[in-house]
Amino acid sequence: MATNAAKTHMINLALLKLVGVTSSAQPMLKTDIDDSVFASPTTASGANKDDVMLYCTRYPDCLKRALIDIRPKFARRYADLGLPISITEDKSILYPRADWVYMFDLPSNFLDLIGQTSQGCKTDRIEAEVRTAHSFAHVVKGSDGQAYYCSAAVTGAADNTPITGASYATYWTLFSTDDDDGMDFETGKAYKASQTGRILLSNELSNADGDAAYIEYLAYAQDGVSDKPAYYDQHFIEAFVTLLAESMAPWSTEQGVRQMLIQEYERLARPAALASDSRPDYEPPENPWLDARNV
C-alpha cells in the first residue's frame, strides 16, 4: 500500500508544535504512514501503533473543522443538485420541509453549505437551508397514479420502474394513492431507503435549466482535493496543524497546552488563513505564531 508523505508531514508539523510546551510530546514520525491506515486507523501496526492510531483518528476531524472555519478556495465546489426529491418522514421528529417548497439530495462529498446561488450569476445568493432528515426514503410517482417509497437501495432503470418494471416490487413499496406525494422517477438516479442524511431546503430553482437548485459548497472526501496537502497554502497549513496539535496534546498532564493552542488557532492562525484566502496580496503578520501563546 502506498505511503502518504504529505499527510505524515502534517502530523509531524503538529508534533513539532508540542515540542517544548509539553514534556509528553511524542517524537516526530520517521516512517510515512500508509494511506490504508489513514482510511482505517485501527489497522496501524508497529511499535508506535497506538500513537499513529490516535493521529490518524484525529486528522480528518481537525481537517474538517479547519475547512469549515476557513472556507478555503481549494475546497469550494459548485453543484447542480438535480430534480427535487420527495421523502418519507420519521414521525418522531418535525417534518424537515417546514415552509420550504423544494427538497434536494446533496453531493456525496458535501461538507458544508456556502450558499445557494444562480448558475448564470454565481454572485447571487438565494435563501436556503441544510437540515438533517432521519429515517427517510425517496418517494417517486408510479405509472399507476400512486406514489411509491424506496424500500431497498437501487439505481433507477427500466426493469425497476414502478410499476412497469419486472422487478419493481423488490425496490418499491406503496406510499400513498396520490402520486403528487412523489417526484418523477429518474433513470440513472441512486435511490436510497431507510437513511439518515442532510438535505437542502429551498424555495427557488436556480440552475441553468430552471429545474434544480444550484449551490456552492465545501467538499470533503478522503483522498479528495480537500484532503491533499499539496493544495494548501502556508496559512491554511498553520491553522490546520495548530488544531491537530491541540487535539493530540495529552489530557492527563499540562492541560493548559490545549488552551494555549486553541487560543493560538483562534487569535492568530485562523484569522491569518482567512485573510490570506480572501486577499491574494495578503502579507502575514509580523508577530510569529509563538506570540499567540502569550496574548
User: 70-108 pLDDT, tens per residue?
Assistant: 999 999 999 999 999 999 976 555 566 778 999 999 999
- For residues 4-21, give the mean pLDDT: 90
Residues 209 and 244 in one domain: no
Residues 112 and 169 in one domain: yes
Residue 25's pLDDT band (boundaries 50, 70, 90)?
low
Residues 214 and 109 in one domain: yes
Q: For 127-176, how does the pLDDT look when each residue is reduced to its tens digit (9 = 90+)? A: 999 998 888 999 999 999 999 999 999 999 999 999 999 999 999 999 99
Half-sphere exposure of 264 (CA within 13 A, CB side): 27
**Contact partners, residue 108, CB within 8 Å, separation at least 6:** 221
Q: For 218-272, how does the pLDDT look when each residue is reduced to its tens digit (9 = 90+)? A: 999 999 999 999 999 999 999 999 999 999 887 655 568 888 899 999 999 999 9
pLDDT for 280 beyond 60:
no
- Domain range spanning residue 63? 3-72+232-294
Residues 209 and 270 in one domain: no
pLDDT for 17 beyond 60:
yes
Residues 8 and 140 in one domain: no
Residues 177 and 90 in one domain: yes
Final residue belonging to a domain, choices 198, 219, 240: 219
Q: Give the model's pLDDT for residue 282.
A: 45
Residues 215 and 85 in one domain: yes
Q: What single string gives the DSSP state of each residue in 36-91? A: HHHH-GGG--STTHHHHHHHHHHHHHHHHHHHHHH--GGGEEEEE--S--EE---T
